Amino acid sequence: MVSYEAERLTIGNKKTISEREWTLDKRQYFHPPKKKRTPVPQLTFKIDVGDQGAKQMNNFLLLFPSLFLTNLFDPSSNLLNKSSLREIKEGIKNQLIEKLLSEEIHQQVSGEGNFKDWDWCAPLLLEKVSIYHDLTRSWFENGLPSGTADPDSETPNDQSESSRKQIHFDTAKEAYLSRDPLSLPYLDESKVGPLSDYRDWETMID
């Protein structure tokens, strides 16, 4: 229901419809065969032309069902605490900082690599060192869930989006199941603050 409400307030908002869409490419929730979806999908999964590797892992991690992040905050607890939204976010941020600076996470990385990769690797590593690691391992081992392989393809016969999403899934799976430390720099207090503020995490927690 939250997803449908988000779409109603965005692509369903008549104020966002362009003149072209009123006359030519009218917005349709369900589009006919061989006709491009209007508007085009916003969540895409691009592949590097050179090595055919995943280029948009941050997008893919928005679909990652993180049990660790989901359980960082119990909304029912706030019936008594009556914390403000700012206080709730600050509490979640402090939990993330503490966990990201833990020895458990430190042991999962090599100390060398691109810091930007932390954006998509952090949720995986937090899950890997949590009490939910076995459940998430099973989720990865079962493969890309049925029904999620091609939800945003422009036509029912278009398999390119499906294969691109599969490459992103396989990249996340390899990172999660790896027994070797990931190629990531070590975190310290100066770096973990901005990382814990990463806005896309809010989507996974919600």
8 A C-beta contact, residue 53 and residue 167:
yes
Q: Do residues 87 and 156 share a domain?
A: yes
Q: Give me the number of domains the chain comprises.
A: 2
Q: Looking at the structure, tell me whether residues 50 and 33 fall in a common domain.
A: no
**Distance between CA atoms of residues 191 and 97, nearest Å:** 10
Q: Does residue 66 sit in the same domain as residue 109?
A: yes
The reply to whether 65 and 23 lie within a common domain is: no
More confident call, 133 vs 156:
133
| Amino acid at residue number 102 | S
Instruction: Calculate ∠ Cα 62-200-182, nearest 5°.
Output: 70
Are residue 105 and residue 170 in the same domain, yes or no? yes
The answer to whether residues 51 and 91 belong to one domain is yes
Same domain, 11 and 104: no
Condensed to tens digits (0 to 9), the pLDDT of residues 125-141 reads 999 999 999 999 999 99
Share of the chain above pLDDT 90, in %: 41
Highest mean pLDDT among 6-20, 81-95, 124-138, 179-193: 124-138
Element housing 2 (H / E): helix 2-9
**What are the pLDDT digits (tens) for 13-34?**
777 777 766 666 666 666 666 6
Judge if 69 and 88 occupy the same domain: yes
Of 173, 196, 195, nearest in space to 57 by CA: 173
Q: State yes or no: pLDDT of 169 exceeds 90.
A: yes
Contact 124, 175 (CB under 8 A): yes
Same domain membership, residue 146 and residue 64: yes
Structural domain that includes position 23: 1-40
The residue ranking higher by pLDDT, 174 or 153, is: 174
55 and 36 within one domain:
no
Please enumerate in sequence order all residues whose Cβ is within 8 A of that of 173, keeping only pairs 6 or more positions apart, or say none: 140
Phi/psi class of residue 145: alpha, beta or left (left: φ > 0; alpha: ψ in -120 to 50)?
A: beta
Q: Both 175 and 115 in a single domain?
A: yes
Query: Per-residue pLDDT tens for 49-85?
Result: 788 889 889 888 888 999 999 999 888 888 888 889 8
